[in-house]
A and B are shown apart, each in its own frame.
Chain A
Amino acid sequence: MSRFKDLQKNLFGGTTSNARQFGMIFTLVAIVVLFQILTDGLTLRSDNLIALFQQNSYILILAIGMLMVIVAGHIDLSVGSVAAIAGILVAKSMAEWSLPWPVAILFGLAIGALIGAWQGFWVAYIGVPAFIVTLAGMLLFRGGNQFIGNANTIPVPEGFRMIGSGFLPEVGPSTGYNNLTLLLGLAACVAVVWREFQSRKTRREMDADAAPLWISVLRMAVMVGVIVFASLRFASGRVGTSFPVSGIILVALVLAYSFYTRNTPGGRHIYAVGGNSRAAELSGVKLKRVNFFVMMNMSVLAALAGMIFVARSAASGPQDGNGWELDAIAAVFIGGAAVSGGIGTISGSIVGGLVMAVLNNGLQLLGVGTDRVQIIKGLVLLLAVALDVYNKSQGRFSVIGSITRAFRRDTPAPPTSSSAADHEPAKTTVPG
């Protein structure tokens, strides 16, 4: 078991990976393979992959913000409505006030920031639970969308549509592939290799045993293989299609926010607040500022997601963004975030979102109706989180749990983080 754990740690690097995330990556691979077989190869065809990315990029963008909100111990139910109101305002700004589309995008982000500031104010400075604030926001901004748009659909101009339905352009010599997509893939491969060596160096400096070289090579080979495969697929689609612009926005956001949450004091403060807000406060973390920031950031990303959706569907409508909050929240929880906050990663949430996306897409390709798709998605979410809760209850001592649960001999019961009977935990967990 411990060797398996070592391998898992080695393959997925660092301490941030956890069993859940590890499991989810395998689940994702398994689902992809399953549908690839069931659909006779439709799943991994270029056009399907491209469509999959385009259709889900905005949900994944929401998942980034939602992860930070959930890690800080909150929730945001308003993202769909915020996306909708930002979408309609941006559409209107271009159609009626004839703002040029780049300015309109900035305008949309500003709307997101303003709404986020409103919600962050109530959550951080007044102390209203985020669930209530954003439940109110959900109604408020959905109504706002329909009030402003008069429940009508407003089309958006061609230039603006690029962020939702655009692709990397064709440049350079004719190779039968999209050259920019190939270049992007190449850059990604280089980055993967560079990062691997960087992390080996870090581990050596931390006097930790760097993973054996073959593991590093294996890991790089797998990742490079995936990237090469994906690049070729994206680059070889129908003429005029390639890696979508919305995908590029998504990748850029994932990289930036992963870096922020993992490698900066600000990111670590979010985890500290979610893990134990009082302890964080007494360590000098500015609690209100962190809470304000995560709520505001979420709304900005929601506005961006709303604009991408409007751009893809070429018009803003009254039903845009319906139910998005639930997809984003599901992605985050499937991706290993803890319901009580303090735990979760951006990459995990993206994997969680992709699991849902592939499931959705694969079932649709198989011709399963939306009714049954929803049932299956609901069960997947429930099982994934149930697994998390169950695991956590195993690690903790709980009197109620120990009464209601049949005893298992292979389960150590070191009282760890919970309160009950916790003043004598050492011998079972810490040798010496």
Chain B
Amino acid sequence: MSDAPILLEMRSITKEFPGVKALSDVNLVVRAGEIHAICGENGAGKSTLMKVLSGVYPYGTYDGDIIYQGAETRFSDIRASEHAGIVIIHQELALIPHMSIAENIFLGNEPRRRGAIDWKSANRMALDLMARVGLQEDPDTLVKDIGVGKQQLVEIAKAFAKDVKLLILDEPTAALNGADSQHLLDLLRGFRSRGITSIMISHKLNEIEAIADEITILRDGRTVETLNIKADGVDEDRIVRGMVGRELSSRFPDHTPKIGEVFFEVRDWNVRHPISAERQVCKNENFVVRRGEIVGFAGLMGAGRTELAMSVFGRSYGVYESGTIVKDGKEIVLKSVADAIAHGLAYVSEDRKAIGLNLLDDIKASTVAAKLSKISHHGVLDEVAEYKAAEAYRRELRTKAPTVDESVSKLSGGNQQKVVLAKWMFTDPDLLILDEPTRGIDVGAKYEIYGIIQRLADQGKGVVVISSELPELIGLCDRIYTVFEGSITGEIARQDADPETLMKQMTSTKKMQTR
């Protein structure tokens, strides 16, 4: 690979914002026809670098040179870079849900005949592009009706419509389940064999190890190193070392669980879909949680883990059909989120920005939002108590923010997640349900969050962790349930848990008991 011609070279790129040097002297060399991964913790400068490359930050706002296809380029905006064949696909897809696949693919780039859009050839070209990315759908299907995995493919097809030479993917598999991720990675391999160069930003180190040819690691706005995966024998630990600048001896803090009695039980839980009533999203599910125990829920995306958790949490999802919740030996009925909070339940949602936080709030207000009664006397809020509570959690969880008056929208993902955790710890829950607690969070912050979860368990609380990352579940949980199509298909103790066993039960309806 390393003898292939250089397609892109970014030389000593420096980009400053007022008071902050986001990039200093970053170098990146991408060879034609390779898959080049860029790794780094949140805030290392990956996205900034890609914005410099794609012209979001136009020429003149940064220092350094970009040599592309052998010539120095000075992009003035995104259009200019797209014209040169550099297309960036953001993690949050830029598709219009109520338009068809074909309309999305050609949005802003419509084939015309005498001024009007030529839908016949648009559809024909769309089919051709869709075939190239392995998407089998009617081009008239609305984008909202296809899954996230396929939407990602539409984005890529859209890039091909622009005659892409260098494809930049920002966290392409973050929202995809295992199968869709695999398909995407295969697709990238296919592109490579056809000579298309890709740059991939990812937190998923196993994917990088599996697919990338070279990897450039950024740390604190500087290039740490560029490694050739095969020649340098790079593995995940090697990448982590480069990213954090030290060896993380373990990705999980040491922990000896102190597991007590069963205190929370869900029996024969049945829930229907909120809109299409014939769809049952939870089918006769049973599970128990013990005090001091971290219980994992493994399953593919769409398996119904979030739906189960939210329906238990005060029926905040779906239409309750039947089932009972028993806590501390007594049956409890949770008809609203307020009931659930009052009974000591907490649910940390998987999407902290969309449904976990009010981004207009500061840290203070966010921390106390789920239990205002705790800081009010006779119906009047006590600002001092609010401040003190928020400040205590900021210190305890080591949230990086100058003060608790800081707006949560200005925090990084890891620190936002700490605020959400503080918000729910503040409600003094007995049972915490954490839905994808480390999604989009870098390695260092993950380690801290794991520590917090373990401390909560050690305080005698029950913790439920829903995660799509099997290594995370295996490393963190004392017991793991597998969920498939709305049913719990297995229950696996920590010592028996390995990815193969879990994956098998996550993809099969057959109930297996390995305990």
| A265→B381 contact, CB < 8 A | yes
Q: Work out how many contacts link A and B, with CB atoms closer than 8 A.
A: 183
How far apart sit A266 and B380, CA to CA, in the bound complex (Å)?
Answer: 9
| A426→B411 contact, CB < 8 A | yes
| A284→B337 contact, CB < 8 A | yes
A residues within 8 A CB of B90?
Answer: 399, 420-421
How far apart sit A429 and B408, CA to CA, in the bound complex (Å)?
Answer: 11
Q: Which of B22, B92, B349, B380 contacts A264 (CB 8 A)?
A: B380
> How near does chain A come to B171, taking the closest CB pair, in angstroms?
7
How far apart sit A119 and B220, CA to CA, in the bound complex (Å)?
Answer: 54
> How near does chain A come to B149, taking the closest CB pair, in angstroms?
19
A residues within 8 A CB of B388?
Answer: 206
| A417→B359 contact, CB < 8 A | yes
Does A377 have its Cβ within 8 Å of any Cβ on chain B?
no
Does B46 have its Cβ within 8 Å of any Cβ on chain A?
yes
B residues within 8 A CB of A423?
Answer: 42, 47, 91, 171, 174, 413, 440
Does A130 have its Cβ within 8 Å of any Cβ on chain B?
no
Q: Which of B42, B45, B92 contacts A420 (CB 8 A)?
A: B92
| A410→B18 contact, CB < 8 A | yes
| A424→B47 contact, CB < 8 A | yes
Q: Which of B48, B313, B356, B410 contacts A279 (CB 8 A)?
A: B356
Q: A265-B372, A424-B46 are in contact. Are A282 and B356 (CB under 8 A)?
A: yes
| B384→A282 contact, CB < 8 A | no
Q: Which of A262, A278, A412, A432 contacts B354 (CB 8 A)?
A: A278
| A399→B400 contact, CB < 8 A | no
> How near does chain B come to A263, taking the closest CB pair, in angstroms?
5
| B353→A268 contact, CB < 8 A | no
Does A416 have its Cβ within 8 Å of any Cβ on chain B?
yes
Q: A15-B405, A402-B56, A430-B400 are in contact. Are A422 and B381 (CB under 8 A)?
A: no
Does A66 have its Cβ within 8 Å of any Cβ on chain B?
no
B residues within 8 A CB of A425?
Answer: 42-43, 410-413
> How near does chain A come to B217, taking the closest CB pair, in angstroms?
15
How far apart sit A415 and B360, CA to CA, in the bound complex (Å)?
Answer: 14
| A282→B337 contact, CB < 8 A | yes
| B17→A276 contact, CB < 8 A | no
Does A205 have its Cβ within 8 Å of any Cβ on chain B?
yes
> How near does chain A come to B51, taking the closest CB pair, in angstroms?
7
Does B369 have its Cβ within 8 Å of any Cβ on chain A?
yes
| A399→B411 contact, CB < 8 A | no
| B43→A432 contact, CB < 8 A | no
Q: A276-B358, A423-B42 are in contact. Are A430 and B412 (CB under 8 A)?
A: yes
Q: A272-B369, A276-B357, A282-B316 are in contact. Are A428 and B20 (CB under 8 A)?
A: yes
Does B355 have its Cβ within 8 Å of any Cβ on chain A?
yes
How far apart sit A112 and B412, CA to CA, in the bound complex (Å)?
Answer: 46
Does B402 have its Cβ within 8 Å of any Cβ on chain A?
yes
A residues within 8 A CB of B357?
Answer: 276, 279
How far apart sit A410 and B400, CA to CA, in the bound complex (Å)?
Answer: 25
How far apart sit A286 and B402, CA to CA, in the bound complex (Å)?
Answer: 32
Nearest A residue (CB) for B406: A430
Does B13 have its Cβ within 8 Å of any Cβ on chain A?
no
Instruction: Enumerate B391-441 residues with CB–CB distance to A below 8 Å.
Output: 391, 400-403, 405-407, 409-415, 423, 440
Q: Which of A272, A279, A403, A424 has the most CB of B within 10 A?
A: A424
Instruction: Enumerate B46-90 residues with CB–CB distance to A below 8 Å.
Output: 46-48, 51, 56-58, 60-61, 77-79, 90
Size of B's binding interface in residues, CB under 8 A: 81
Does A348 have its Cβ within 8 Å of any Cβ on chain B?
no
Q: A275-B358, A421-B51 are in contact. Are A432 and B384 (CB under 8 A)?
A: no
Q: Which of B44, B58, B340, B360 has the most CB of A within 10 A?
A: B360
B residues within 8 A CB of A416?
Answer: 359, 407, 409-410
How far apart sit A167 and B359, CA to CA, in the bound complex (Å)?
Answer: 46
> How near does chain B come to A73, taking the closest CB pair, in angstroms?
11
How far apart sit A263 and B174, CA to CA, in the bound complex (Å)?
Answer: 40
Nearest B residue (CB) for A419: B92
Q: A206-B387, A264-B381, A343-B360 are in contact. Are A430 and B46 (CB under 8 A)?
A: no
Does B361 have its Cβ within 8 Å of any Cβ on chain A?
yes
Q: Which of B42, B174, B337, B388 has the most CB of A within 10 A?
A: B337
How far apart sit A262 and B79, CA to CA, in the bound complex (Å)?
Answer: 46
Does B96 have its Cβ within 8 Å of any Cβ on chain A?
no
Nearest B residue (CB) for A14: B383
| A15→B362 contact, CB < 8 A | yes
How far apart sit A280 and B354, CA to CA, in the bound complex (Å)?
Answer: 11
Does A371 have its Cβ within 8 Å of any Cβ on chain B?
no
A residues within 8 A CB of B387?
Answer: 205-208
How far apart sit A283 and B94, CA to CA, in the bound complex (Å)?
Answer: 29
B residues within 8 A CB of A268?
Answer: 365, 369, 372, 381
Does A413 have its Cβ within 8 Å of any Cβ on chain B?
yes
Does B338 have its Cβ within 8 Å of any Cβ on chain A?
yes
B residues within 8 A CB of A15?
Answer: 362, 405
Does A27 have its Cβ within 8 Å of any Cβ on chain B?
no
A residues within 8 A CB of B440?
Answer: 423
Does B333 have its Cβ within 8 Å of any Cβ on chain A?
no
Q: A206-B388, A286-B336 are in contact. Are A275 and B360 (CB under 8 A)?
A: yes
How far apart sit A343 and B221, CA to CA, in the bound complex (Å)?
Answer: 35
> How near does chain B come to A211, taking the closest CB pair, in angstroms?
14
How far apart sit A422 and B413, CA to CA, in the bound complex (Å)?
Answer: 8
Q: Which of A272, A410, A421, A427 has the most CB of B within 10 A?
A: A427
Does A409 have its Cβ within 8 Å of any Cβ on chain B?
yes
Interface string of A191-225 (1 = CB under 8 A from B): 00000000000100111100000000000000000
How far apart sit A284 and B340, CA to CA, in the bound complex (Å)?
Answer: 8
Does B30 have its Cβ within 8 Å of any Cβ on chain A?
no
Nearest B residue (CB) for A278: B355
B residues within 8 A CB of A6?
Answer: none
| A431→B372 contact, CB < 8 A | no
B residues within 8 A CB of A342?
Answer: 358, 360
| A403→B358 contact, CB < 8 A | no
> How near does chain B come to A201, taking the closest CB pair, in angstroms?
9
Q: Which of B43, B51, B78 contacts A427 (CB 8 A)?
A: B43
> How near does chain A come to B429, taking the closest CB pair, in angstroms?
12
Does A414 have its Cβ within 8 Å of any Cβ on chain B?
yes
How far apart sit A423 and B415, CA to CA, in the bound complex (Å)?
Answer: 11
How far apart sit A114 and B353, CA to CA, in the bound complex (Å)?
Answer: 37
Nearest A residue (CB) for B341: A284
| B370→A281 contact, CB < 8 A | no
Does B322 have its Cβ within 8 Å of any Cβ on chain A?
no
> How near does chain B come to A339, taking the closest CB pair, in angstroms?
13
| A426→B358 contact, CB < 8 A | no
How far apart sit A208 and B373, CA to CA, in the bound complex (Å)?
Answer: 24
How far apart sit A417 and B359, CA to CA, in the bound complex (Å)?
Answer: 6
Q: A279-B358, A419-B353, A423-B171 are in contact. Are A265 and B412 (CB under 8 A)?
A: no
B residues within 8 A CB of A403?
Answer: 77-79
Does A407 have its Cβ within 8 Å of any Cβ on chain B?
yes
| A263→B381 contact, CB < 8 A | yes
What would 9 A/B residue contacts be, using CB atoms closer than 8 Å?
A265-B372, A265-B379, A280-B369, A282-B313, A286-B336, A416-B407, A423-B91, A424-B47, A430-B415
Extra 10 A-B pairs, beta carbons < 8 Å, given A205-B384, A403-B79:
A206-B387, A264-B379, A278-B354, A279-B355, A280-B358, A283-B337, A284-B338, A284-B341, A424-B45, A430-B401
Spell out A's residues near B (CB within 8 Å). 15, 202, 205-208, 262-266, 268-269, 271-272, 275-276, 278-286, 342-343, 399, 402-403, 407, 409-410, 412-417, 419-432
Spell out B's residues near A (CB within 8 Å). 17-20, 22, 42-48, 51, 56-58, 60-61, 77-79, 90-92, 94, 170-171, 174, 220-221, 313-314, 316, 336-338, 340-341, 347, 349, 353-362, 365, 369-373, 376, 379-381, 383-384, 387-388, 391, 400-403, 405-407, 409-415, 423, 440
